[in-house]
């Protein structure tokens, strides 16, 4: 049980931003500018500082942030939903016990997403962010992607998902783009500028 609790705590806790590292205010400001959108997709190869940027953002934003560190085990949609539920409960105590996943084990991913959206809409009026780090690890999971894709369609407007990984999250990007609900960053955006290199 202690090991399980440790794994869960790690999964829903944002990495501490090392204050000795470069604060990338340019990119943090860009993330803030995109917050009204439903999805901010960040995709780049290893070494571009995706997780460090999100830790930087979390440390410097006034918005509530719910963090999910994704593993290959999250290809199981119920496990992913459980981690997300715990992350939401950690940040917003008032939704504790609102979602009983044990009773929803056979619920289709799309219906499960609607339940999450309804609970969030009924209990959280704050603008907030859900960070999904290492999203590429679940790009082969149809069920987990269906859950996330439906959430992006039905979540209330106060919620923004930031999905970061080595690949772009495989959801309905065209739909989101057409609605003006898609922001993003790639390797060129994440690369250090000349001024940032001097500051390092």
Q: What is the pLDDT of residue 178?
A: 97
CATH annotation of 23-199: 3.40.50.300
* Tens-digit pLDDT profile for residues 125-183: 999 999 999 999 999 999 999 999 999 999 999 999 999 999 999 999 999 999 999 99
Mean of pLDDT values over 36-40: 97
Domain ranges of the chain: 23-199
Closest among 63, 56, 27 to 42, alpha carbons compared: 27
pLDDT at 200 over 70: no
Mean of pLDDT values over 78-104: 86
Instruction: DSSP for 58-112, please give it.
Output: HHH-SS-EEEEE--GGGGSHHHHHHHHHHHHHHH-GGGTTS--GGGGTTS-HHHH
Alpha-carbon distances, residue 155 vs 39, 128, 182 (angstroms): 11, 12, 14
Model-wide pTM > 0.85: yes
* Tens-digit pLDDT profile for residues 43-61: 999 999 999 999 999 999 9
pLDDT at 198 over 80: no
């Amino acid at each position: 049980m202690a090991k399980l609790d440790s794994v869960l705590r790690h999964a829903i806790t944002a990495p501490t931003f090392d204050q000795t590292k470069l604060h990338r205010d340019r990119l943090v400001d860009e993330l803030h500018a995109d917050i009204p959108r439903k999805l901010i997709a960040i995709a780049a190869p290893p070494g571009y500082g995706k997780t460090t940027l999100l830790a930087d953002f979390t440390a410097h934003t006034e918005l509530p942030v719910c963090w999910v560190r994704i593993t290959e085990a999250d290809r199981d949609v119920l496990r992913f939903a459980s981690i997300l539920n715990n992350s939401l409960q950690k940040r917003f105590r008032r939704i504790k016990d609102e979602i009983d996943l044990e009773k929803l084990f056979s619920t289709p991913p799309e219906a499960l997403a609607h339940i999450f959206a309804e609970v969030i809409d009924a209990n959280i009026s704050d603008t907030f962010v859900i960070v999904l780090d290492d999203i590429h690890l679940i790009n082969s999971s149809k069920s987990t992607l269906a859950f996330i894709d439906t959430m992006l369609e039905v979540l209330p407007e106060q919620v923004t998902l930031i999905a970061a990984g080595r690949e772009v999250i495989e959801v309905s990007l065209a739909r989101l783009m057409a609605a003006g609900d898609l922001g993003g960053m790639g390797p060129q955006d994440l690369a250090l500028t000349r001024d940032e290199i001097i500051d390092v």
